[in-house]
Amino acid sequence: MEDLPKISLQGLFEDMDDPRVVGRCTYSLKEVVLIAVCAVLCGAESWTEIEEFGESKHEWLRQFLSLEQGIPSHDTFRRVFSILPAEAFENRFRAWVETTFRVEQEQIIAIDGKTVRGAGVRALHLVSAWAHRSGLVLGQRKVDDKSNEITAIPQLLEDLYLAGSIVTLDAMGTQTKIAQKIIDKHADYVLALKGNQGQLHTDVADWFAWAAERDFRDVPHTFAQSINKNHGRLEIRQCWALADESALETIRHYAGWAGLQSVVMVKRERRSLNNTPGSVETVFFLSSLPADADLLLYAIRAHWSIENNFHWVLDVVFHEDDARLAVVNGAENFAILRRFALNLLKRHPAKLSLQRKRFKAALDDSFLSQLIAYF
């Protein structure tokens, strides 16, 4: 476990602005928020379950909270988190992450969106940043109802410390302004291309087709390959990275790709272990990294950890898609509670699954104390 600074439970929310009417609050905002964080850490998935956690852990909670008026009701938790500005709560989450996480050189930070389908009448869509190597959530932004990820991604990038990292995005984020924002933050990018990028995608594909016809002779490039066995099938990934100046000039025809240094092709083939032919997919990327196929292939593969190790965990371990939280602001704040809990579980060194860590925390007060010590 890396030696990182900690923020105390009390200190993190001590001076947070309270949106409620001054003088008419039975419970302090700090008490409400901290009980909720600990409850979600132990498996609570609703305001009622947070109240039940508080009642069952009343004596344990009194180690660091006064609780002079007892435990708030589930209606109090729902009401407070419904009026608490989600942006302010998210700011506290990011402040905590920034003091407990150091961006390492060439750390892969994957950015992708996820819809919380149980969040009221309108599904809540969040764009999150995920640090691949450490397995921590760095931050999130809600996508406005009348907007899409293209507007939320630059806002999230602006919030994060990215210097020295490699930011990966799917085709939705392949925009010149987003590339510029990443370069301005002293980071590198790997951006996916798809057919909806029109002529740009076609030109990159044509360049690689021409190079392949020549077997890449006299075409400055690097090559890397990985072969993995998973779930009874073979996965072969081949990566070609071009730094050919003519190819880059072709792409630069589309003005604004700040820092562009390489174009990348990855061919993914899946087949059964008995060599029965399977699916083949070819995808293309733009990158500000040099044409290092090994590094680029690593970054491209790492991007999918946000889907496999983050979104999957939220749905399977935290049951995020099953949540029924009618007030969207409350749903967004509950999503932040889950991300607090996920990071705390990830940072604890116990060799247990996340599910078992949550279960153990609910049963074992000493283990729960260890988890929150990582604040």
Domain ranges for the chain, please list them: 9-99+327-373, 104-309
CA pair distance 58, 259, nearest whole angstrom? 55
* CATH value of 104-309 in 3.30.420, 2.40.50, 1.10.287, 3.40.50: 3.30.420
| pLDDT at 76 (0 to 100) | 94
In the three-class reduction of DSSP (H, G, I as helix; E, B as strand; rest coil), residue 262 is classed as strand
Rg of the chain over Cα atoms, rounded to whole angstroms, equals 23
| pLDDT at 325 (0 to 100) | 66
| pLDDT at 24 (0 to 100) | 72
| pLDDT at 308 (0 to 100) | 81
| pLDDT at 275 (0 to 100) | 65
Contacts of 343 (CB under 8 A, 6+ apart): 97, 100, 136, 137
Strand partners, 113: 127
| pLDDT at 121 (0 to 100) | 45
Beta strand 262-272 with 108-116 is unpaired
Which parts of the chain register pLDDT below 50? 1-5, 121
Q: What is the pTM of this model?
A: 0.86
| pLDDT at 5 (0 to 100) | 44
CA pair distance 25, 183, nearest whole angstrom? 46
Would you tell me how many other CB atoms lie within 10 Å of the CB of residue 101?
Answer: 19
Contacts of 98 (CB under 8 A, 6+ apart): 161
SS3 content of the chain, % helix, strand, coil (to 5): 45, 20, 35
Contacts of 252 (CB under 8 A, 6+ apart): 260
Q: What is the DSSP letter of 216?
A: T
| pLDDT at 233 (0 to 100) | 77
| pLDDT at 254 (0 to 100) | 63
Q: Name the nearest CA neighbour of 161 among 113, 106, 102, 212.
A: 102
| pLDDT at 144 (0 to 100) | 75
Contacts of 189 (CB under 8 A, 6+ apart): 166, 167, 168, 169, 178, 179, 182, 183, 259, 286, 287, 288
Beta strand 124-131 with 108-116 is antiparallel
In the three-class reduction of DSSP (H, G, I as helix; E, B as strand; rest coil), residue 73 is classed as coil
Q: Which two tokens stand for residue 64?
A: 């660091």
